[in-house]
């Protein structure tokens, strides 16, 4: 694993991205529980890779790759795949997953804000369920950094908890999400996990995200909001 973070001095005002808020991912057991709760599904990863036209020789970077299933599936189809994450424990799990499939993607311990992609620009850049770890000002910085690692015309796919309800309905909508999504302890993410997400992490609205994507140099070619609490953006770098 290379630590491909920028060697530029870190300004004192930079967000502390190596100590993310939210569920504890700081041990092997916590990471294995996360992987179960997240419902990691190689078939879903393959469907996404098909949509994004990732194949033999494609250059893919997955930012905040977590337990690495998307990166491993990309490597299995012959892509030059890179997984980037701030968590040593997540990367250890991801590396073991790759070894079990006999593939060797490149893993980088780095963050949205300081990952320095030191090789050819990517064709496809993805990030799922993670950008909400940064407050909006830093999301914008992260998106600018992301655009810089992608070739012009390259694809950027973003999936996250992003709200598309009207702000005046936020109380009801957030409560409804927590009430319906929370599972009993041991069976998935709990109500407490979702409550902590809203309280301590930085999910934002779709209209704010769309403005940030545009300002980072992305054209949104399609968007999906399958739930009022989640959104996918499929973009091209200008």
Q: Which residues bind ligand SAM (CB under 6 A)?
A: 17, 20, 25, 38, 64-66, 85-87, 90, 111-112, 128-130, 133-134
For residue 12, the number of C-alpha atoms closer than 13 Å in the C-beta half-sphere is 0
- Name which of 229, 226, 211 is nearest 165 in CA terms: 229
Cβ proximity to ligand SAM, 92 vs 220, nearer residue? 92
In the complex with ligand SAM, which residue's Cβ is closer, 201 or 210? 201
Are 134 and 17 contacting, i.e. CB atoms less than 8 angstroms apart? yes
Minimum CB separation from ligand SAM for residue 44, in Å? 10
Comparison of 86 and 103: residue with beta carbon closer to ligand SAM: 86
Nearest approach, Cβ of 169 to ligand SAM (angstroms)?
25
Least spacing, CB of residue 67 vs ligand SAM, in Å: 6
The two three-digit tokens of residue 96, written as one number: 């073991």
Nearer to ligand SAM, 89 or 123 (CB): 89
Q: Which residue lies nearer to ligand SAM by CB, 80 or 87?
A: 87
Given a contact cutoff of 8 angstroms between Cβ atoms, the answer to whether 142 and 134 are in contact is yes
**Shortest distance in whole angstroms from residue 112 CB to ligand SAM:** 4
HEC profile of 135-158: CHHHHHHHHHHHHHCEEEEEEEEE
* Alpha helices (runs of H) in 14-54, residue ranges in sequence order: 28-38, 42-51
Rounded to 5 degrees, φ, ψ at 5 are -95, 160
Closest separation between CB of residue 15 and ligand SAM, Å?
8
In the bound complex, what is the minimum distance in angstroms from residue 66's beta carbon to ligand SAM? 2
Structure token pair of residue 148: 């810089």
> Which residue sits closest to ligand SAM, CB atoms considered?
66
* Shortest Cβ 77–ligand SAM spacing (Å): 18
**Closer residue to ligand SAM, CB minimum distance, 44 or 104:** 44
| Pairing status of strand 230-237 against strand 150-161 | antiparallel
Q: Which of residues 24 and 50 has its CB atom nearest to ligand SAM in the complex?
A: 24
Write a three-state SS string for 182-233: CCCCCCCCCHHHHHHHHHHCCCCEHHHHHHHHHHHCEEEEEEEEEECCEEEE
Q: Which residue carries 């700081």 as its tokens?
A: 26
Q: Helix %, strand %, coil % for the chain, to 5?
A: 40, 25, 35
């Amino acid at each position: 694993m290379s630590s491909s973070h920028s060697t530029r001095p870190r300004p004192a005002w930079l967000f502390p991205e190596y100590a993310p808020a939210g569920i504890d991912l700081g041990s092997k057991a916590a990471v294995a529980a996360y992987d179960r709760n997240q419902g990691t599904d190689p078939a879903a990863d393959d469907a996404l890779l098909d949509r994004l036209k990732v194949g033999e020789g494609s250059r893919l970077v997955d930012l905040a790759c977590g337990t690495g299933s998307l990166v491993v599936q990309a490597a299995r189809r012959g892509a030059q795949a890179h997984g980037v994450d701030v968590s040593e424990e997540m990367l250890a799990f991801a590396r073991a997953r790759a070894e079990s499939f006999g593939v060797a993607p490149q893993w980088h311990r780095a963050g949205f804000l300081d990952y320095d992609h030191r090789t050819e620009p990517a064709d496809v850049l993805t990030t799922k369920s993670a950008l909400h770890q940064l407050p909006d000002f830093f999301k914008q910085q992260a998106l600018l950094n992301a655009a810089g690692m992608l070739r012009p015309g390259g694809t950027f796919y973003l999936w996250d908890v992003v709200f598309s309800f009207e702000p005046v309905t936020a109380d009801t909508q957030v409560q409804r999400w927590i009430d319906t999504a929370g599972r009993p302890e041991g069976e998935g993410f709990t109500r407490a996990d979702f409550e902590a997400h809203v309280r301590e992490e930085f999910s934002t609205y779709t209209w704010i995200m769309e403005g940030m994507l545009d300002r980072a140099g992305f054209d949104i070619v399609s968007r999906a909001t399958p739930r009022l609490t989640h959104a996918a953006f499929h973009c091209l770098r200008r």
